[in-house]
Amino acid sequence: MSVNLNDLNSLTLAYLGDAVYELYIREYLIESGNGKPNKLHDKAIQYVSAEAQASIIHFLLDSHILTDQEERIMKRGRNAKSVSVPKNISVQNYRYSTGFEALIGYLYIQKDKERLQELIQLSIEFINN
């Protein structure tokens, strides 16, 4: 994918990041041997829900794991004004979740596969604990 990062708004990065993160989680779950589709879906929700993503980004921020640039991208995503917010989550957590997704989308666009995999692995370990 060859896209200029400056041409993308934060919600577009989050849209892409959501798909990328979900794909990584699905691969992880299948490789872990959780075979039945309905069980896979239920297990995936533990990792990809907005609540889970908000808790992951708080963990990454509190641990000072993100670079300054990654933190700026996350804040851009967090501060983006979306049209709607799901009813089952607070506005604050929804925004942090969007920030997490924007960060994942950014790393994907930057083709920084090593860092993308590192942060996703940390996210998985955080949720597993």
Which residues are identified as catalytic?
18
- Which whole-number Å values give the CA distances from 77 to 15, 33, 48, in the listed order? 10, 33, 17
Closest to 21 (Cα-Cα) out of 127, 129, 126, 121: 121
Say how far apart CA 92 and CA 108 lie, in whole Å: 25
The Cα 75–Cα 68 span in angstroms is 11
